[in-house]
Amino acid sequence: ENGNLPTCGTDKFCIWQFNFREFNVTEDIFASDSIELLRQCGIDFKMNNEMGIDVNRFGELLMSSGIVLNDGVHWVTFHSGYDFGYLLKLLTCRSLPDTPAGFFDLINMYFPMVYDIKHLMKFCNSLHGGLNKLAELLEVERIGVCHQAGSDSLLTSCTFKKLRDNF
């Protein structure tokens, strides 16, 4: 209800980061500059291929977890269209819809309560930029490495709380 993060029995917040095994840099199509950026931020694609989570199993567990198709769960994101597209593909085991309307129908069904900070910024006169810039403007400290899902998720959550409390 209050957006409190788990502490896992410590005095610090916990965030989980999932690394999937299905992406293969030797076989799949990708943007070279994006892959290089992720490598520089510590993503080890070879290790993910060997030890990462199977996306089909993750989809099964996510579907049975109770956090999707649940309007009591609030998804806090930053510019997350591609992320939700990936999750929808994972959850439905199907290709994404051909139309934006079809895509948003699925988003509304599987993730009925979404707060996308990038969208919310449009309603806050002085706010602009990406997640790092916004966090800087709101004086939210990053913990961890930029472009690692765990660190980005924690920064997104803390930035949302600051945005909610101040605007």
**What is the pTM for the complete model shown?**
0.86
Tokens 């610090």 correspond to 12
Helix (H) or strand (E) holding 123: none
Distance CA 97, CA 85 (A): 10
Phi-psi region of 83 (alpha: psi -120 to 50; beta: other; left: phi over 0): alpha
- pLDDT tens for the chain, 167 residues: list them: 566 778 889 988 788 888 999 999 999 999 999 999 999 989 999 999 999 999 999 999 999 999 999 999 999 999 999 999 999 999 999 999 999 999 999 999 999 999 999 999 999 988 999 999 999 999 999 988 888 888 999 999 999 999 999 88
Provide the H-helix boundaries in the chain.
Answer: 32-40, 45-51, 55-64, 81-92, 100-110, 117-120, 131-137, 149-166
